[in-house]
């Protein structure tokens, strides 16, 4: 009887924990699973996940943001920060090189969609084979396994629909062949060359990282994917950052193409055709762009995705500690600030993110607020971190009208 009672209690506790991490808005595993249940133990770890703010904390955050936004940066200086944005980022990378940011090895927990299906299966098998020897301080293997299983369910569901829907999708090489067989105009040959001769043209799976910086996502991705037929594009408008990537010992032009690109310049073409990308990674990049230019940037990126392709987004959320720390005189416009080094940052809400990507014709797969408590145990300091994490997919079928898209918003 005692055994049955303990077993029932264990099952009930497990069910409650699963329910705690599963909802229509939050995935089962990504974003961590270290929950602070005893406030007296807050300084036992560096980070606590899924923090809920009290009404008082929310009001205090709004008050601080309002206070540091009263005094705006002079218009002349705002114009300078916009015109010379690349200069400030080049100076940043010249000063810090590749020592400022850590490699983003967390990418594959939060965004398993980065990986081709075959590689996801291989990693899942590797995790299982080494389960008995591996102990993680942040996420158990069972959680990692669940993460991959959730990703597999999603991709299996979409791959099944993709098998029929994409039959009508004409590849770039097929387009080139059609142009050759049925030439129309004197620019036909040039168009064929453009479609067929570009870096990664022979790849079957293509990824673009926008705002690659010094390569803190690039090299973990290259190391993890390690799959023939996969190609990684990465760009940054700071030439110094691109040089850091190209000079890295792990950079290989057979697998990767790093190039300087200003995503705000609509007239500047990408070194590959539209609708060829399986994944676009947009991590802590959109926040550096003036809010008035964000929508056009997202619209252009959406055109690069093939039907069924995914755009993976993570960036600063409204009332993150970084926003509340700004002093008066650093606010450019509402929720948009300039740092002391001249670089800029915007703080999003998930509704703003949803609106931007939906207007670009993409469909929500995930869009949530990631609230964590970051702790400096040495200084006994607590910091409320807020990020937005989202996944949006390009529809396999024709795009919905803006009215239909708006009606589909869960909060409308």
- Mean pLDDT, the chain, integer: 78
DSSP H helices in 259-360: 291-304, 321-324, 350-359
* CATH number for 320: 3.40.50.150
- 47 in a structural domain: no
Mean pLDDT over residues 151-179, rounded?
A: 41
Residue 271 in contact with residue 260, Cβ under 8 Å?
Answer: no
Mean pLDDT over residues 353-364, rounded?
A: 98
Asked if pLDDT for residue 206 goes beyond 80, the answer is yes
Output the DSSP codes for 167-204. GGPPPHHHHHHHHHHS--STTHHHHHHHHHSSTTTT-S
Domain encompassing residue 300 = 52-126+138-171+202-407
Residue 210 in contact with residue 235, Cβ under 8 Å?
Answer: yes
Asked if pLDDT for residue 252 goes beyond 50, the answer is yes
- 259 in a structural domain: yes
- 230 in a structural domain: yes
- 160 in a structural domain: yes
- 10 in a structural domain: no
- 185 in a structural domain: no
Q: Write out pLDDT tens, residues 7-64.
A: 444 444 444 433 333 333 444 455 777 777 767 776 667 777 777 888 998 999 999 9
- 22 in a structural domain: no
* Domain count of the fold of the chain: 1
- 60 in a structural domain: yes
Q: In whole angstroms, what is the distance from residue 392 CA to residue 412 CA?
A: 18
- Which of 7-21, 22-36, 72-86, 348-362 has maximum average pLDDT? 348-362
Asked if pLDDT for residue 97 goes beyond 80, the answer is no
């Amino acid at each position: 009887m005692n055994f049955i009672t303990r077993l029932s209690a264990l099952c009930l506790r497990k069910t409650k924990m699963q329910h705690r991490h599963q909802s229509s808005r939050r995935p089962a595993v990504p974003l961590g699973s270290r929950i602070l249940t005893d406030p007296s133990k807050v300084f036992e770890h560096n980070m606590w996940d899924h923090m809920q703010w009290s009404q008082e904390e929310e009001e205090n955050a709004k008050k601080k943001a309002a206070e540091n936004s009263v005094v705006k940066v002079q218009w002349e200086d705002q114009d300078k920060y916009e015109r010379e944005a690349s200069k400030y980022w080049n100076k940043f990378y010249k000063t810090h090189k590749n020592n400022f940011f850590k490699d983003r090895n967390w990418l594959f927990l939060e965004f398993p969609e980065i990986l081709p299906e075959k590689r996801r299966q291989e990693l899942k098998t590797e995790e299982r084979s080494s389960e008995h020897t591996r102990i993680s301080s942040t996420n158990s293997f069972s959680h990692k396994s669940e993460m991959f299983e959730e990703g597999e369910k999603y991709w299996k569901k979409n791959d099944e629909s993709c098998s029929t829907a994409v039959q009508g999708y004409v590849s770039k090489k097929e387009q080139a062949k059609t142009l050759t067989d049925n030439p129309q105009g004197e620019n036909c040959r040039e168009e064929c060359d453009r479609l067929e001769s570009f870096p990664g043209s022979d790849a079957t799976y293509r990824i673009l990282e926008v705002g690659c910086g010094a390569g803190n996502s690039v090299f973990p991705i290259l190391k993890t994917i390690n799959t023939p037929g996969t190609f990684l594009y990465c760009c940054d408008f700071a030439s110094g950052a691109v040089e850091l990537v190209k000079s890295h010992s792990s950079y290989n032009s057979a697998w990767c193409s790093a190039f300087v690109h200003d995503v705000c310049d609509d007239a500047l073409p990408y070194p590959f055709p539209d609708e060829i990308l399986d994944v676009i990674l947009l991590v802590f990049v959109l926040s550096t762009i003036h809010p008035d230019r964000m929508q056009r940037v997202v619209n252009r990126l959406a055109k690069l995705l093939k039907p069924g392709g995914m755009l993976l987004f993570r960036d600063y959320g409204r009332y993150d500690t970084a926003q509340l720390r700004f002093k008066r005189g650093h606010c450019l416009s509402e929720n948009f600030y300039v740092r002391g080094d001249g670089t800029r940052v915007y703080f999003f809400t998930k509704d703003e993110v949803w609106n931007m990507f939906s207007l670009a014709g993409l469909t929500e797969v995930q869009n949530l607020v990631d609230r964590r408590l970051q702790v400096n145990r040495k200084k006994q300091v607590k910091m409320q971190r807020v990020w937005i994490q989202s996944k949006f997919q390009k529809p396999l079928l024709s795009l919905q009208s803006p009215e239909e898209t708006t009606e589909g918003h869960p909060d409308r």
